[in-house]
Chains A and B, each alone.
Chain A
């Protein structure tokens, strides 16, 4: 299709060579079998290794492998910080790279190599420091042996071992070949917190420069010799199949190579994305819509309401006495509802596969590389050991890139085309074939005693189950914990708390969305707690004080939030709303300060206080707070996937709207300092955003909104 002039070809070669010179995207051009293979072997070769996480080369370069997928949350910097702290090197002395698939990279929170649930720091906090400490100790041992001095006379500092007696110095690179032959001590002592140099201090991101110059390699940027590009259309109706398609019109488009029929989709393979897309547009596939053809948003809502109103629920929490409500001085009952949501990562779903008889390489932005070898082996008949996964940077993940659907399509396309194929979804395909945040409905009943103190809470939650599809073994006595999280395990101390779950299929695939069940359950919970406070005639912040009497950290966070937000002291014409929610090991409180101008709402300021225990990179935490607030506010304002004729109605950003820069509020973040175990930070600041906003709108207008998005109620961000 293209006929490049020599000039262009030259530029292209230069570009690719230039890319390869940056260590991070080596391997984008060509499959590089053996690169990691050699690196994973213990010792030997020209590249002495201390262990599979870390490469210290004779030229003194230090490369840290990052097992978690970098999707914006900063693990590409924070995980190397853990190793660097104990290795005694500065962040300016190391480079990071994505890890291959390997047993040592298993996320110990899931027992598989995957990124999600805000677990990266939580699981790696101790193991990665141990990796750094072991490397430091073998380097010291190598120096002691080289100099024939006692180990105790050596110390590590900024990439060098010093001999305290003679002042001799050797670099890690010089010592690496000998160190690679030594066995690291099984037991190493980790530095006490008081001696930390890096952890807990702001570190520059290791990926900023790449991302500011356009050289960071995302999945969609993969280029291989002889590579074709494909795009796909799946049956619009969920669960439907491809009946037939006449491939003629696509094959007539210049640059189209192949039309591939999958059971539920049609794929067009071409010389580039544009001819593939034109070819796909020319086709008129005939679909067998299946059982969901008459499904609609109204029908889904009816199913959820039916689940609230009848049938047995599964008991998710039973604490205290449910009958306590009968003795309440005041009771409140309310029904809340939250819609289906798409992830809308900025980088549309894509994957590149090269299927050969001797093995398969896949390059993709994925949150779960560890799942891939087994799946590809089944698809292609090669052994799992012959499958090489190259995890790229992720242009957003948010749980969507846990899924394997797009990867499978790329492998099948490469297999059919007999060539490397990069398969790219259109934005419309991405929005209409997501694994959506489950729609959910909840009925809450609560009561306060004569003094206006919270007494009891009952919740009945109806929504489809995520685990039923992905991890059915995690469903416990009919309860999918992701459906009730944030309510059944609320941080609020209700003496009497009863939560039931009703599992209800809705004919739409559901999956992990950022903060998962907490994303809607915080809206339910903290909206309802606000209702209870109002019924008791009490200040919403003060009312929550009575729900935090049992936990020192929670109480401290609330007081900090009240102080920093200037709670109760908003300027005239402004109102405040509060939400405090615990998820993924961290407690986050937010106060939104707003004003109303008719149907337009201005969020003047968000005050956010975070208790995530021991933290690694405070600058990343601030970024994640802003990130989570935008994600939460976008959903609160606009987020809704409607179902019509069994298919998703919204397709692109014109109808599935996103918050933009002009609507971004000022965010004032405060991090509690303590030495508790690390909590997650990729998600926990999201859940409070919607309820804090809705509670502020109530404070301003007296109107309580119990369903999202707020745009459905005629409101808009100013």
Chain B
């Protein structure tokens, strides 16, 4: 099946099965590896990208469901305030979950530019095995102040 995706402001046509998760189209067909595979069942959020401006877990989001919505991956962020705060506070450890964490944080701030710590607790459900959580919380608050 051919799908034309609007991804990071460009059109891409891929020929894949309809049930192919968006994650694997992004990684294997389009060669963008910033978005990670963690669990395959939308539990960990390492694969978080934006579809139509909303954060989705792309490992469980079939390419056939994207339609005309625009897709945005970590590669599309350009020195974003969230990334600046991340680097300033040295949030990453192993770093594997961080693309998804950052995409979730960017979506949170786009919906709620002034989140309280409780909002972050409620809305950031991504798993980090290294335990960067406290720095993630603090970097999101710093990014909100910066924006």
Interface residues of A (CB under 8 A from B): 1-5, 7-8, 11-12, 15-16, 70-74, 204-205, 207-218, 220-221, 223, 229, 254, 271-275, 278, 344-348, 393-398, 424, 426-427, 619, 623, 626-631, 652-654, 658-662, 664, 666-667
What class of interface size applies to chain B in its complex with A?
Answer: 35 or more
Q: Are A71 and B94 in contact (CB under 8 A)?
A: yes
B34 at the interface (CB under 8 A from A): yes
Q: Are A396 and B13 in contact (CB under 8 A)?
A: no
Residue ID in chain B nearest A2 by CB atoms: B29
B24 → chain A closest CB, angstroms: 4
Interface SS of B by simple majority: loop
A659 → chain B closest CB, angstroms: 8
Contact of A274 among B15, B17, B30, B125 (CB under 8 A): B17
B127 at the interface (CB under 8 A from A): yes
Residue ID in chain B nearest A346 by CB atoms: B96
Q: Are A210 and B39 in contact (CB under 8 A)?
A: no
Provide the bound-state CA to CA distance between A619 and B88, in Å. 12
Provide the bound-state CA to CA distance between A394 and B36, in Å. 13
Q: Are A212 and B92 in contact (CB under 8 A)?
A: yes
Provide the bound-state CA to CA distance between A229 and B133, in Å. 33
B75 at the interface (CB under 8 A from A): yes
Contact of A652 among B19, B40, B125 (CB under 8 A): B40
Q: Contacts of B87 on A, CB cut-off 8 Å?
A: 204, 208-209, 212
Q: 22 A-B residue contacts at CB 8 Å? A: A1-B15, A2-B16, A4-B29, A5-B11, A15-B75, A212-B91, A214-B34, A218-B96, A220-B36, A274-B16, A274-B17, A274-B28, A346-B127, A395-B95, A623-B90, A627-B130, A630-B131, A658-B129, A660-B133, A661-B128, A661-B137, A666-B134
Residue ID in chain B nearest A344 by CB atoms: B129
With A424-B37, A661-B125, A661-B133 already in contact, the answer to whether A8 and B95 are too (CB < 8 A) is no
Contact of B94 among A11, A213, A344, A394 (CB under 8 A): A394
Which residues from 106 to 141 on chain B have a C-beta closer than 8 Å to any C-beta of chain A?
120-122, 124-137
B78 → chain A closest CB, angstroms: 9
With A7-B12, A208-B87, A661-B125 already in contact, the answer to whether A346 and B131 are too (CB < 8 A) is no
B6 → chain A closest CB, angstroms: 11
Q: What are the interface flags for B33-51 relative to A under an 8 Å C-beta threshold, 1 for contact and 0 otherwise?
A: 1111111110110100000
Q: Contacts of B69 on A, CB cut-off 8 Å?
A: none
A472 → chain B closest CB, angstroms: 30
Interface residues of B (CB under 8 A from A): 2, 10-17, 19-21, 24, 27-41, 43-44, 46, 73-75, 77, 83, 86-87, 90-99, 102, 120-122, 124-137
Q: Are B129 and A12 in contact (CB under 8 A)?
A: no
Provide the bound-state CA to CA distance between A72 and B102, in Å. 17
Q: Are B24 and A652 in contact (CB under 8 A)?
A: no
Q: Are A427 and B24 in contact (CB under 8 A)?
A: no
B21 → chain A closest CB, angstroms: 7
Q: Contacts of A16 on B, CB cut-off 8 Å?
A: 31
Contact of A11 among B30, B38, B136 (CB under 8 A): B30
Provide the bound-state CA to CA distance between A707 and B44, in Å. 27
Provide the bound-state CA to CA distance between A498 and B39, in Å. 44
Q: Are A660 and B125 in contact (CB under 8 A)?
A: yes
Q: Contacts of A626 on B, CB cut-off 8 Å?
A: 131-135
Residue ID in chain B nearest A393 by CB atoms: B95
Provide the bound-state CA to CA distance between A248 and B41, in Å. 27
Q: Contacts of B122 on A, CB cut-off 8 Å?
A: 662
Chain A CB within 10 Å — which of B38, B91, B126, B135 has the most?
B38
Q: Which 4 A-B pairs have the closest CB atoms?
A: A214-B34, A630-B131, A395-B96, A211-B95
Chain A CB within 10 Å — which of B39, B77, B127, B134 has the most?
B39
Q: Are B94 and A229 in contact (CB under 8 A)?
A: no
Residue ID in chain B nearest A272 by CB atoms: B28
Chain B CB within 10 Å — which of A220, A396, A661 has the most?
A661
Q: Contacts of B135 on A, CB cut-off 8 Å?
A: 623, 626
Q: Are B39 and A653 in contact (CB under 8 A)?
A: yes
Provide the bound-state CA to CA distance between A11 and B14, in Å. 13
Residue ID in chain B nearest A216 by CB atoms: B95
Provide the bound-state CA to CA distance between A5 and B35, in Å. 21
Q: Are A223 and B33 in contact (CB under 8 A)?
A: yes
Q: Are A229 and B28 in contact (CB under 8 A)?
A: yes
Q: Are A348 and B38 in contact (CB under 8 A)?
A: yes
Q: Contacts of B12 on A, CB cut-off 8 Å?
A: 4-5, 7-8, 11
Contact of B36 among A3, A395, A623 (CB under 8 A): A395
Residue ID in chain A nearest B94 by CB atoms: A72
Q: Are A214 and B99 in contact (CB under 8 A)?
A: yes
Chain A CB within 10 Å — which of B19, B28, B122, B132 has the most?
B28
Contact of A661 among B2, B33, B86, B136 (CB under 8 A): B136
Q: Are B90 and A205 in contact (CB under 8 A)?
A: yes
Q: Are B130 and A214 in contact (CB under 8 A)?
A: no
Q: Are A664 and B134 in contact (CB under 8 A)?
A: yes
